[in-house]
Amino acid sequence: MSDPASAREWQTSDLRPVRKAAAGMPAFVQLRREGVLESLDDQHCAAEKLQPLILEAVLTGIS
């Protein structure tokens, strides 16, 4: 089992493309238009909350 420090490192570096992809999703675009996601920080926070769902969807699609 890997140590927590390497898990954090993986999370912050390798999931950056996932955050980017999530921020470009139509749902985010719509929320930005409606003013719900006003700042880049709001978008990153929402993307981070969606990461587990996105990863689960990707992994389910692969298996």
Q: What is the pLDDT of residues 2-61, one digit of tens each?
A: 455 554 554 555 556 666 666 666 766 776 677 666 665 666 677 777 777 777 777 777
Backbone angles phi, psi at 41, to 5 degrees: -60, -40
Task: Provide the token pair at 43.
Answer: 């978008």
Q: CA-CA distance, 53 to 31, in Å (whole number)?
A: 18
- At 1 the pLDDT is 44
- At 24 the pLDDT is 65
CA separation, residue 17 to residues 22, 36, 55 (Å): 8, 23, 12
pTM of the model: 0.29
